[in-house]
Structure 1
Amino acid sequence: MFPSWRMQLGEARRALKEGQLDRACAIVQREELREFRQARELSAELAGRVAQRARGRLAAGRSNAGWNDLELAEHVAGCDLPVAQVRNEYRQAVFARAVDFLADGRTAVAQQELAKLARRGLRDAQVRQLEEFARSMSEAEQMLSVGSSAEARQALEKIAVEELAIEKSPENLSRDSVKIDWSRLAQRVEWLLAQCQRHSQLRGELHAAANQSDWHQMLARADKLLSVAPRDRVARAARRQAWHAVGLDATAVFHREGRPLASLALNDTKRGAQGSASKTQADDTMSGSQEPNRFMLWVDAVGGFLVCLDDEVVLGQPTPGSAVAVPLCADLSRRHAVIRRHQGGYTLDPLGEVKVDGRLLTGPMVLGNRHEIELGSAVRLEFTRPHALSATARLTPLSGHRTEPRADAVLLMADSCLLGPKSHSHIACRRWQGDVMLFRQAGRLHCRSTMEMTVDGSQADGPTPLESGARLEGEEFAISLEDV
């Protein structure tokens, strides 16, 4: 009869052959097997297999599962040799994404990527270097946002000298360091410097117009200033003064340069009462003949968000004449998947190749919080339900593929959408002191806030209806709605 330890090793080998890696690892880690050479050899093989699985999970964006695999592989092997390469690949991939986000002006997202490395214990000299660069960029962007262009310029000029000097010091970097494309980051710095210069010039022109009581020029310069520095108090005050002086209608709105406003249908008549689509309308949505009910929500110093109001949302490739609600610039079908909202829940219907958490879908699936959706071979989106009492959901791009128009996230808005500093907000606005709520009421979109707020220049007391191109402003925030 075979000894017990041989039987246990045989069981572990069968589990490995059947792809049951976790079960095989649990067997070889038993205390009574550790003294045997065959068990140690099998442990090394298992550690390699688990490390390989970790590589795949990390590449798919499942960082928690992948990291757990790395810790398991290290524990099984008794050393970090099988996982060191995978760890370094993960560090390099996250670091490279952070550099790309910084170059694209998405500083907050870049800081989130670098924070992942810190949490995983992968903060080395190079990561600290980029963290400091991102921190300096964020401070400069905030200074410019509130109209302190001189201070922002000083901070940016310091970045251009000090950060490049660090890069030229190879002793500060490890042999596994990633080469930073400073030319792309330098272009971002130069663009911000040009914005600082433009702000100073516009501020001078604004003061000149005010001295001459040229209210139309004053209003034009104030609008241009706010396109550069959305929280510039001088520009806001000048705009209010000019509005009052020339008697502009209270619903006159500020809009960003290069973003013309069109008619924005925010009421529910586009899809029927209370925003619910009839079966015929649903069929129209699926066939692509019905225009999606959506708009862009621009939150200054936070980002842009594509808000979809329909109960059925089609995801696919943007093509002429297509009525895709969430167009994704990637190698996808014109109509690749449909997300449906029903009684507060969501289902995902695959029309092309769709995976959820790595599992290929052959039919509709109920979506849960933090499910990862993969469309085709590359596009990855995270589905979340931030607020437990709201049916509104959020789709956050994980793979870097952009929407058309470009948005930081997609909101599938049910009855309400919360913007604020709390963790359950649908749009996180960390520096705010209160909340802004968008909600549907009597077939129209309304807003209210716990902070003092104006809507299109008029004080908003209580629930306030929103029109096309609405502009919401408070002491520390500004929000614009734009037709798409």
Structure 2
Amino acid sequence: MFPSWRMQLGEARRALKEGQLDRACAIVQQEELREFRQARELSAKLAGIVAQRARGRLAAGRSNAGWNDLQLAEHVAGCDRLVAEVRDEYRQAVLVRTVNYLADGRAPAAQQELAKLARRGLRDEASRRLEEVTRRMAEAEQMLSVGSSAEARRALEDLSPTELSENLAAISAKIDGPRLVERIEWLIEQCERHAQLRGELHAVAEQRDWHQMLARADQLLSLAPRDRVARAARRQAWHAVGLDATAVYHREGRPVASLALNDTKRGIKGSKSTKADDTMTGSPHPNRFMLWVDAVGGFLVCLDDEVVLGQPTPGSAIAVPLCADLSRRHAVIRRHEGTYTLDPLGEVKVDGRLLTGPMVLGNRHEIELGSGVRLEFTRPHALSATARLTPLSGHRTEPRADAVLLMADSCLLGPKSHSHISCRRWEGDVILFRQQGSLHCRSTMEMTVDGAKAEGPTPLESGARLEGEEFAVSLEDV
């Protein structure tokens, strides 16, 4: 009869063969098995397998499960070379993500990544240096958002771009140091620009030049959304000039347009951006339309560079109305040169983190408005600035849509994974795009537009219908 330790060892081997890795580890960890050579050899083998599983889980973003595996591997057979390698890979991956978050303007997310290293006992000199950089950038972004540009500038004073780039390169070749340096330099420029605009605002306020005062206040708020001085100045200017001749600010490089309160609703052809934030008492009608794709769904397409998300109310001009317990104007998403910024006006979380100021959105963020309205923000096509908001929580838009498209220059419908609207049964693509102030379309398939054969770029009007042999698409003004 086999001794009991041989039976236990055989059970551990069977568990490993059947893929029950955790059970096999539990068996070989028994104290009575540790004195036998065969058990120690099996423990070393199991530790290597667990460490490799940890590597895969950590690479897939399952940090808690991966870290637990590393601890298990260490407990099963001691801290060997493979466990140390995986830990070092994890440390470097966290530092890479931290730098990427900082470069994207997501300092709170960067701080959470570094906190993981501290909790797991992996802080080293490199992570400590990066903690200081992160703290200063978070402080600078917070100060700038409330209009304290001098304090924000002081927080960044000792961050030498050259030294920082060299330190980051020494940590890992995968770290994008130049992009982080570029972000710091951009923040410094924003601080200096804010100070300049604040001086100009005081000058035009003394001259009681209300239109220039509005323009300067809007420019300041594009840099510092919670600048109380700029907000107060804009309210004063609004009160002085009324709502019938208001200058709406567009970021530098774009014209300033005069809008009247009684502007008629714009159709699909319009493409000018509208300004809407928490201190405005009125705004033009958002430029949007419904895109109906047979056998696929309905999609709300927003053409403006700035869209407001909130609760639909009679007479309101909300670009993305959501039937939920939200503020009338809960958040604003702004697009500028291909970059999207989310500005919280009510309670907003991104990936579970509460926003205290504007945040630059990357690909695949989960946005939560209020208590439970969840939307996924994605940038499906790497070469297109068009973004997509997909409801995750079951709350519907008004009108009801399967998703919201924030259309930049183009919108791709087709069977590929990077299409903005996935039409899996199609054989080719349909592209909507802007050209000379109007909306056009073209397709890789034979297609008619309102019954006429489409050859090359074809202009679209409200109510247009696009048809092919196996597809149909309709545009409906909202």
TM-score by length of 1: 0.57
Structure-to-structure mapping, 1:432-443, within 5 angstroms: none
Structure-to-structure mapping, 1:203-214, within 5 angstroms: 203-214=198-209
Structure-to-structure mapping, 1:55-454, within 5 angstroms: 55-160=55-160, 164=163, 177-178=171-172, 181-248=176-243, 260-261=273-274, 263-264=285-286, 284=293, 286-287=295-296, 290-292=298-300, 296=307, 390=372, 392-395=373-376, 405=386, 412=392, 414-415=394-395
Q: Which moved more, 1:90-99 or 1:109-118?
A: 109-118
Structure-2 separation of matches of 1:94 and 1:106: 14
Q: Which moved more, 1:191-200 or 1:247-256?
A: 247-256
Per-residue deviation at 1:120?
1.9
C-alpha deviations, 1:208-243, integer Å up to 9, x for none? 211221111111111111111111111111111111
Per-residue deviation at 1:88?
1.0
Q: Which moved more, 1:146-155 or 1:211-220?
A: 146-155
Per-residue deviation at 1:292?
3.3
The corresponding residue for 1:467 is none
The corresponding residue for 1:424 is none
Contact 1:114 / 1:127 at 8 angstroms: preserved in 2?
A: yes
- Structure 2: which amino acid aligns with 1:19? G
The corresponding residue for 1:5 is 5
Structure-1 separation of matches of 2:111 and 2:383: 19
Contact 1:136 / 1:155 at 8 angstroms: preserved in 2?
A: yes
- Structure 1: which amino acid aligns with 2:140? A
Aligned residues: 327
What SS does the corresponding residue of 2:155 show, helix, strand or coil?
helix
Contact 1:308 / 1:410 at 8 angstroms: preserved in 2?
A: no
Per-residue deviation at 1:79?
3.1
Structure-2 separation of matches of 1:7 and 1:141: 63
Instruction: Show structure 2 runs of 5+ residues with no match.
Output: 255-271, 275-283, 311-318, 325-337, 339-351, 353-361, 401-477
Q: Which has the higher contact order (CA 8 A, sep 6+)?
A: 1
Per-residue deviation at 1:381?
6.1
Per-residue deviation at 1:4?
2.1
The corresponding residue for 1:50 is 50
- Structure 2: which amino acid aligns with 1:135? R
Per-residue deviation at 1:244?
0.8
- Structure 2: which amino acid aligns with 1:127? S
Inter-CA distance 5–74: structure 2 relative to 1 (3 Å threshold): same
Contact 2:91 / 2:117 at 8 angstroms: preserved in 1?
A: yes
C-alpha deviations, 1:74-99, integer Å up to 9, x for none? 11113354411111111111110111
Contact 1:292 / 1:310 at 8 angstroms: preserved in 2?
A: no
Inter-CA distance 413–166: structure 2 relative to 1 (3 Å threshold): closer
The corresponding residue for 2:33 is 33
Structure-2 separation of matches of 1:156 and 1:263: 41
Percent identical among aligned pairs is 62
C-alpha deviations, 1:156-193, integer Å up to 9, x for none? 222237x93796699xx8xxx43555432221111111
- Structure 1: which amino acid aligns with 2:392? L
TM-score by length of 2: 0.57
What SS does the corresponding residue of 1:393 show, helix, strand or coil?
strand
Instruction: Show structure 1 runs of 5+ residues with no match.
Output: 272-280, 300-305, 312-328, 330-368, 370-378, 417-439, 444-483
- Structure 1: which amino acid aligns with 2:211? H
Contact 1:382 / 1:395 at 8 angstroms: preserved in 2?
A: yes
C-alpha deviations, 1:374-412, integer Å up to 9, x for none? xxxxx996879999x84x335488x9x9995569x9653
Per-residue deviation at 1:104?
2.1
